[in-house]
Structure 1
Amino acid sequence: MKDMIKRLHSLLTIKESAANVPKNLEASRRLQFFTNSLFMQMPLARPVSEMLSFSVFTPYYSETVLYSIAELQKKNEDGISTLFYLQKIYPDEWKNFLTRINRDENAADTELFSSANDILELRLWASYRGQTLARTVRGMMYYRKALMLQSYLERMHSEDLESAFDMAGLADTHFEYSPEARAQADLKFTYVVTCQIYGVQKGEGKPEAADIALLMQRNEALRIAYIDVVESVKNGKPSTEYYSKLVKADIHGKDKEIYSVKLPGNPKLGEGKPENQNHAVIFTRGNAVQTIDMNQDNYFEEALKMRNLLEEFSQNHGKFRPSILGVREHVFTGSVSSLASFMSNQETSFVTLGQRVLSNPLKVRMHYGHPDVFDRIFHITRGGISKASRIINISEDIFAGFNSTLRQGNITHHEYIQVGKGRDVGLNQIALFEGKVAGGNGEQVLSRDIYRLGQLFDFFRMLSFYVTTVGFYFCTMLTVLTVYIFLYGKTYLALSGVGESIQNRADIQGNKALSVALNTQFLFQIGVFTAIPMILGFILEEGVLTAFVSFITMQFQLCSIFFTFSLGTRTHYFGRTILHGGAKYRATGRGFVVRHIKFAENYRLYSRSHFVKGLEVALLLVIFLAYGFNNSGAIGYILLSISSWFMALSWLFAPYVFNPSGFEWQKVVEDFRDWTNWLFYRGGIGVKGEESWEAWWDEELAHIHTFRGRILETILSLRFFIFQYGVVYHMHAGKESTSLSVYWVSWAVLGGLFVLLMVFSLNPKAMVHFQLLLRLVKSIALLVVLAGLVVAIAMTPLTVLDVLASILAYVPTGWGILSIAVAWKPIVKRFGLWKIVRSLARLYDAGMGMIIFVPIAICSWFPFISTFQTRLLFNQAFSRGLEISLILAGNNQNAGI
C-alpha cells in the first residue's frame, strides 16, 4: 500500500501541461499506440536476469547503409534533392535537428558542411528517415537500451526502494553507464546483421563497408556476419576457400574477428537472401530469434515490451506450444505519397485485422516476412528459418511458416507490440514487389509443402489456408478471366448475330428472364473489392465516420485506379508462373520517389503485363459497340461496359497518372525523344534492354523455353483470330454473303499486307549497292497500295467504314500470328523469317506506344493538369516546395542565359 501511495503521489504532482504534448504527428501516434497497448492482454514480464535471451537477425546485401552528402545533394530533373525533400516532408523535425546542432533555422544548407561532426549528424538524420540499414540498426539497438534501463531500475528497486523513487529522474542518464546493466543486457540480447558481401566491399574500398564499420563503432553490441572468400594456390592449382565469419568493432574501431567457420564450398547455391540468412544463423544465440528486414525500424517504448512478448512462448495457445510469435507492423512510409498511403493502408489491414483472424480462430497464419519471433531451438533443429532452393523458394519467408506448421508448430499473432516497416513508395517499385510475390505464389502452387498441408489439414482449415495463400491469387486471376470470358461471349453474340435473334425471340415470347440474362451488366468496379479489408480495418481502428472520410479521400486520390492496376499485376505474374514457371527475385529499390520515370521505362515494365491486355479489352468493347445489339441504347451499353472500360483505361494510363511530373510538356517531349531512340536502336552483343528495343524484346521472350509452354502460348493466341472471322462478314464488300470464300479473301488481303511489310522491312545497309532501286520499289509499292485502295472504294461496295473495320479485324490477327511465331522461335529462325517477325513486333510496339502517348501529350498541353497531378501524388507541404523549386530553377536558368 505504501508503494502505491508513493506512485500515486508522484503521478499527481508531476508538472506537465497540455502545452508539452508533442505536436509531431508521429510522436503522438507512437504515444497513443503505446498507451492503448498497455490495456491489452499481455503476459507479465519476468526480471531481466530471468527472462528468455534472444537475438535479432537482419539480412543485408548492398542496400543503402547511410546516405552520403553527394546523395543528399544530388538533384533530379526538377532540381529537387533528397535533403530538400526531407526538409519539406519533416519540417518540425528539421527545426529540432538544427536546434540540436546549434544552428539557426534560416541557416543555408552549405553552412552545415563546414564541420565534419555536423556532416555526420546530417547524414544520420537523413538516414533515420529513409529505408536504410542505419535506421534499422538504431531501432534494434533500442532493445539493448530498454534492457539496460529495466535492469538498472530493478537493481535500484531491490537495493533501496526510497532511493529508487528519488533517483527515477536520473535513470535516463545513469543506466547507460552502469556496468551491471550493460552486462545484463549483453547476456540477454544479441544483434547480428549478415552482410553477405561485406568482405568484398571492404576489399574494394566501397563506402558501404566504411558505413557498416561506423555503425559497429557506434553500437558496441552489433555483430556483422559475412562470407570471406580466400584465394590461394595449392599444388600449383588455384583454390578458393569460403569462411563464414563474425566480427565486431574493437576499442580502436577496427574489425575484431569473433568466429570463423570454414565452409565446404560456395554457400550461395539457391536464392540469395535465404542463403545469406542460412550461413549466419549459427551466430545467433538465445532461446528466440527475431527476423528483421533491413528497411525496418523499432521504437524504445515498444522495446520495453519485448520481455512480455517472449513470455508468450510459455503461455497456453492451444494444443501445441508457440513456435513463431507474430508481431504487428506499422508502415512508416505512408506519408511520402498517395501511392505509399494506399500501400500502407492495405498492408496495415493485413498485419492487424488479417493476421489476427488467421491466427485465431482460423489457425492458418504463416510467416509472411518480418518481424516475427522464432523459437530458435525449435527451428534450428528442424531445417532453419529459411528455405533457399532456387526459384521454388522465391518467397522464402512463407516456407518457414509451412515448415513450422508441418512439424507441429503453432504460429500466433500479438498486437500489443509493433515494429516499423518501410514499404515501396512508387508505382514501379510496388508493381515489381507485387510481381515478385505473385510469382512466388505461383511457385508455391507447385511446391510439395502446399500439397502436404492440403492433405493434413481438416476441411475447414484447408479452405481457410487456401483462401489466404495461393487461393487469393488464383481467385484474382479468375476475376480477370471472368471479364475476358464475359466480353468474348458478348463479342461472339454480336458478331454472329445470335444475340439479336435471341433478343427478338425473347421480345416476341415475352421472356423477361432471357432478356435480363442477355443484358447482364457490371455495375461495380472489381478493383474496389480488393480494398474491402482495408475499409473494415479503418472502421475497427478509427470508427465509421473517420473510415468513411478516409475512403472518400482515397477515391479522390484515385485509389480505385491503383487497386485495379494491381489486379492486373498479380494476374499477369501469377498466371505466367503457372504456365511457364521461372519466377525470379526482382530488386525494387527503396529510395524516395521524387524522380520522373521516363515513358520508355514504364513501357518496358508494363507493356506485356498491362498494355497489351488493356488494349485487348478496349478492342473487344469497341467491336461490341460497333456490332452489338442492345435494346437499352447508349445507357445500356454504358452500364454494361463502364466497369470494363475503367479496367482497360486503368491498365493503360495508371503508370503515367502516378508518375511525378508526368504531364509537364517539357518532360513529355524529352520522353518521346528517349522512347523513339530506344525503339529504333539496334541491339547487339552486350546491349541491355534499357538501351535497345531489340534487346528488351529478346528478354521478354526468355520465359517461353519449353515445348509445353510453346503449346500453351499457341492455344491462348488462337483467340485473336476470332475478330477477323467475325468482322469480315459484316463488311459491305462481302455483300452480306456467308460463304467461306469471304473469309479466305480476307486472308489473301492479309497475305498481301505481309508481303508489303517484307518490302518495307528490307534493310538499306544490306543493299548498300542498290539504294536507288530499293527506294524505287518501296515508292511503287506504296503508290500501288494507295491507288488500289482508292479504286476499290470507288468501284466496289468497299466503303471507308470497311477500311476501319478491316483494321479491327487485321490488328488482332497480326498479333495472334506474331504471338505464335515468337512461341516457336527456333522453327521461325530456321526458315529465315525471324527478321520479318521482329519488324512486325517493332511495328506493333510502336503503334501501342503511340496510342498511349498521344492522350498524355494532349493532357500535357494544359498546365493545370500537371498542378493537379502534383497535388494528387504528394502532400501539401511538398507540393508547395516543388513549385517553389521549379520557379527558382527557372529563374536561375534564365539568369544564366
Structure 2
Amino acid sequence: VRFHYGHPDVFDRLFHLTRGGVSKASRVINLSEDIFAGFSSTLREGNVTHHEYIQVGKGRDVGLNQISMFEAKIANGNGEQTLSRDIYRLGHRFDFFRMLSCYFTTVGFYFSTLVTVLTVYVFLYGRLYLVLSGLEQELSQEPAIRDNKPLQVALASQSFVQIGFLMALPMLMEIGLERGFRTALSEFILMQLQLAPVFFTFSLGTKTHYYGRTLLHGGAKYRPTGRGFVVFHAKFAENYRLYSRSHFVKGIEMMILLIVYQICGHTYRSTVAYVLITASLWFMVGTWLFAPFLFNPSGFEWQKIVDDWTDWNKWINNRGGIGVPSEKSWESWWEEEQEHLQYSGKRGIIAEILLALRFFIYQYGLVYHLHVTRKTKSFLVYGASWLVIVLILFVMKTVSVGRRKFSASYQLVFRLIKGLIFLTFVSILVILVTLAHMTIQDIIVCIFIFMPTGWGML
C-alpha cells in the first residue's frame, strides 16, 4: 500500500475531476496534501504508480534542529491523518492484509511510538504508587514475591533480548542480505560509535510529543526547516525554545520519578532485572536532556557556554509584548507554546487537565515520607504542605513585582527586603533541622514536591 511516492505532482485530471476532485476545505489537512491525495485516489478505486524518469540528488536535513522540526511537521500530519475520515473509511473497506499494510505505512508507526512512551510513564507511575502507598514494603515481606527468582530471570532476559537484540536484528538482516554479514556488522558498530541510539531515542520524544498534541488539540501547522549549511553552533536559548516542552520537561519528570523510587523504594534494588530496566530508562532520560548539546557543534566549548548563558539570560529577562517575536522574549514564546489550547475542543482541554493532575501525586505521597512527618498520617500535613507552597509562590511573586516596580528607584531598600526574606528562610530551615530533625534527604524531597506541583499549577 503506497499512497504517494514523494510529492504527487502529476494527477490523472479526468479521473479525479469526475470523482469529486482531491481538494480539501481545510488548510490544516492540506499540510499533508500528498498522502491525502493518495487516500482520495485509493478510496475511488484508483492506483498510485511510480514513474522514475530522471534521478537527481536532493538536499537533506542534516542538523538536529532541522530534523526535529521536519519530524514535528510529519508527526503533526500523522495526527491529522489519525483523526481523519479517510483513514477510517480505508480501514473499514480494505481486506485484512491491506488493512495491516495501510496501518504500518501511515499512522501505525506514530501510534506505536506514542504507546511506547506511554508504557514508560505507566510503568514509572505504577512504581511510584507502589512506593508511596507502602504497598511495595508490604509485598516485599511476602517470601513468595521477594524470592521469585524465575520472574527476575525472565524480566532480565526479556529486557536484554527485546531492548538489545530484537531491535537491531531486522537492520542487521537487511544489510546482511544486501551487502554481506561482515559489512552489516561493521555498519552496526559504526552506528553505535556515531551515537545512533542517542539520536533515535531523542527522535522518539519528538514524534510522541507532536503526534500526541495533535491528537488532543489538532492544529497541525507548516514548519519551515530549510536545507542550508548547518555546521554552526546553535545557541542554548534556541535549543530551549525547541525542546523545552517536548523533551526537557518530560526528561526531568522521568528523572524525578527514578530518583524518588531510588530514595523511597527498597525491593529488587540489587537484582539484574532492576539494573537492566532502570539503565534503559536512565539512558532515555540522559538522551532527552543532553542530545541537543551532544549533536551541537562546539556544544561543550567553554566560551560558547558563557555566550549562550548570557544570551539565554537576556531572552528570559525580556518580557516582550505585542509584535515581539518568540526569539526575543520568553513571554512571546510561552504564548506560542500555549496557542493550541485556545483552539482546542472541550475534550482536549479536559484530557489536558486530567493529564496535568499527575503532577500533584508527588506532593500527596512524598509529604508523608519526610522524616519530619513520618510518624503522622493526618490530612493536616497535606494541608500544611499546600500552605507552604502558596506562601513560597506568594513571596516569589512579590519579589518579581517588586523588582519590576521598585528596583530602579529604591534599589537599596529592595535589596534589604530580599536579604531579610533570604535570612528568614535560612532561619526557618535551621529551626527545622535543629528541632524537627530535618535531614538533607528531606530538603531534596521537598524540592521534588515543589517542582512537579508548580508544573501542575501551570
Same fold by TM-score, threshold 0.5 exceeded?
yes
Match of 1:779 among 395, 414, 419: 419
2:57 aligned counterpart, secondary structure: strand
1:367 aligns with 2:20: no
1:790 aligns with 2:427: no
8 Å Cα contact 1:521-1:639 kept in structure 2: no
Counterpart of 1:538? Answer: 175
Q: How does 1:621-640 map to 2 (within 5 A)?
A: 621-633=258-270, 635-640=272-277
8 Å Cα contact 1:506-1:514 kept in structure 2: no
Amino acid at match of 1:452: R
Give how far 1:797 is off: 2.5
8 Å Cα contact 2:155-2:273 kept in structure 1: no
Match of 2:326 among 669, 686, 689: 689
Question: Using a 3 Å threshold, how does the CA distance of structure 1 residues 499 and 374 change in structure 2: closer, same or farther?
Answer: same
Give how far 1:386 is off: 6.6
8 Å Cα contact 1:565-1:654 kept in structure 2: yes
Give how far 1:539 is off: 2.7
Counterpart of 1:471? Answer: 108
Give how far 1:376 is off: 5.2
Matches of 1:587 and 1:527, distance apart in 2: 36
Counterpart of 1:835? Answer: none
1:704 aligned counterpart, secondary structure: helix
Give how far 1:416 is off: 11
Give unmatched runs, 5+ long, in structure 1. Answer: 1-363, 819-897
Amino acid at match of 1:737: T
1:701 aligns with 2:338: yes
Q: How does 1:83-102 map to 2 (within 5 A)?
A: none
Counterpart of 1:620? Answer: 257
8 Å Cα contact 1:393-1:440 kept in structure 2: no
CA deviations on 1:482-540 (whole Å, 9 max, x unpaired) are 01111111122122221222122144896556767998974368699777665444233
Matches of 2:55 and 2:318, distance apart in 1: 51
Counterpart of 2:360? Answer: 721
Counterpart of 1:489? Answer: 126
Counterpart of 1:603? Answer: 240
Matches of 1:402 and 1:780, distance apart in 2: 67
1:538 aligned counterpart, secondary structure: helix
Matches of 2:224 and 2:164, distance apart in 1: 26
Question: Using a 3 Å threshold, how does the CA distance of structure 1 residues 453 and 630 change in structure 2: closer, same or farther?
Answer: same
Q: How does 1:369-384 map to 2 (within 5 A)?
A: 369-370=6-7, 374-375=11-12, 377-379=14-16, 381-382=18-19
Matches of 2:165 and 2:410, distance apart in 1: 60
Counterpart of 2:231? Answer: 594
Amino acid at match of 2:447: I
1:670 aligns with 2:307: yes
1:815 aligns with 2:418: no
Instruction: Please tell me the root mean square deviation across aligned C-alpha atoms, in Å.
Output: 2.8
Amino acid at match of 1:588: T
Matches of 2:154 and 2:348, distance apart in 1: 37
Counterpart of 1:803? Answer: 443
8 Å Cα contact 1:678-1:692 kept in structure 2: yes
Matches of 2:357 and 2:102, distance apart in 1: 36
Give how far 1:792 is off: 1.3
Give how far 1:475 is off: 1.0
Give how far 1:742 is off: 2.2
1:732 aligned counterpart, secondary structure: coil
Task: Give identity over the alignment, percent.
Answer: 58
Q: How does 1:128-527 map to 2 (within 5 A)?
A: 364-370=1-7, 374-375=11-12, 377-379=14-16, 381-382=18-19, 389-412=26-49, 418-507=55-144, 522-523=159-160
CA deviations on 1:76-120 (whole Å, 9 max, x unpaired) are xxxxxxxxxxxxxxxxxxxxxxxxxxxxxxxxxxxxxxxxxxxxx
Amino acid at match of 2:369: H
Amino acid at match of 1:815: W
Matches of 1:516 and 1:588, distance apart in 2: 47
8 Å Cα contact 2:113-2:204 kept in structure 1: yes
Question: Using a 3 Å threshold, how does the CA distance of structure 1 residues 671 and 499 change in structure 2: closer, same or farther?
Answer: same
8 Å Cα contact 2:137-2:266 kept in structure 1: yes
Question: Using a 3 Å threshold, how does the CA distance of structure 1 residues 718 and 508 change in structure 2: closer, same or farther?
Answer: closer
CA deviations on 1:543-589 (whole Å, 9 max, x unpaired) are 22212211110110000001101111110000000011000010000
Higher strand share: 1
8 Å Cα contact 1:531-1:563 kept in structure 2: no
Question: Using a 3 Å threshold, how does the CA distance of structure 1 residues 687 and 520 change in structure 2: closer, same or farther?
Answer: farther
Question: Using a 3 Å threshold, how does the CA distance of structure 1 residues 521 and 514 change in structure 2: closer, same or farther?
Answer: closer
Give how far 1:755 is off: 2.2
Counterpart of 1:749? Answer: 388
Question: Using a 3 Å threshold, how does the CA distance of structure 1 residues 532 and 518 change in structure 2: closer, same or farther?
Answer: closer
Matches of 1:733 and 1:550, distance apart in 2: 56
Question: Using a 3 Å threshold, how does the CA distance of structure 1 residues 779 and 586 change in structure 2: closer, same or farther?
Answer: same
Counterpart of 2:278? Answer: 641
Matches of 1:583 and 1:528, distance apart in 2: 36
Amino acid at match of 1:492: Y
Give how far 1:454 is off: 1.5
Matches of 2:425 and 2:52, distance apart in 1: 71
Question: Using a 3 Å threshold, how does the CA distance of structure 1 residues 765 and 389 change in structure 2: closer, same or farther?
Answer: closer
Question: Using a 3 Å threshold, how does the CA distance of structure 1 residues 773 and 521 change in structure 2: closer, same or farther?
Answer: farther
Counterpart of 1:564? Answer: 201
Give TM-score, length-normalised by structure 1.
0.48
Aligned length in residues: 455
Give TM-score, length-normalised by structure 2.
0.91
Give unmatched runs, 5+ long, in structure 2. Answer: none
Match of 2:376 among 737, 753, 762: 737
CA deviations on 1:784-813 (whole Å, 9 max, x unpaired) are 111111111111132222111111122111
Matches of 2:422 and 2:269, distance apart in 1: 44
1:474 aligned counterpart, secondary structure: helix
Matches of 1:390 and 1:450, distance apart in 2: 18
Amino acid at match of 1:757: M
8 Å Cα contact 2:268-2:274 kept in structure 1: no
8 Å Cα contact 1:439-1:573 kept in structure 2: yes
Match of 1:581 among 218, 221, 241: 218
Question: Using a 3 Å threshold, how does the CA distance of structure 1 residues 373 and 583 change in structure 2: closer, same or farther?
Answer: same
